Amino acid sequence: MIKIVENDIEKQDALTIRKTVFVEEQGVPLEAEIDEFEEISKHIILYHEAEPAAVGRYRTYHNGYAKVERVAVLKPYRKYGYGKKVMDFINLKAKEDGFLGTVLNGQSHAKGFYEKLGYITEGEEFLEENIPHYHMKLTFS
């Protein structure tokens, strides 16, 4: 099941996944992971047989685009295509919300994943929290 987070339990499930993937696995400081956009973002959670498995969020950005952030899948669930499901769901909801498309700062190792979803790389590689990233953009048709 995939859905927009609607209550405190779902929000806590989403934060637990983000802390596991970004803070514990990748070494992002907790104070950088939990940011000023938590309350204005739409959070997405995917459950695998009632267990929290994957997350993402999006928020208003600029020029009619939404910004996708914090897409993460727990290790035991990375073989199920849940990253793609989260991204497809976010893009569907962003389109329904009237956005022209989405942008994201994708980790460099995931660049090919985002390109397969139709994202175009804009600019050079850069560091965010000491992790190489690319700014990428998808315009809805």
User: Kind and range of the H or E element at 83?
Assistant: helix 82-96
* Residue 130, helix vs strand vs coil: coil
**Contact status, residue 71 vs residue 95, Cβ threshold 8 Å:** no
Q: What is the pLDDT of residues 54-99, one digit of tens each?
A: 999 999 999 999 999 999 999 999 999 999 999 999 999 999 999 9
Instruction: Decide if domain 2-139 falls under CATH 1.10.10.10.
Output: no
Spell out a b/e string for 6-27, using b for 16 or more CB atoms within 10 Å of the CB, else e. Answer: eeeebeebbbebbbebbbeeee
Cα atoms in the 13 Å half-sphere on the side-chain side of 92: 10
Q: Where are the domains of the chain?
A: 2-139
pLDDT tens per residue across span 24-41: 999 999 999 999 999 999
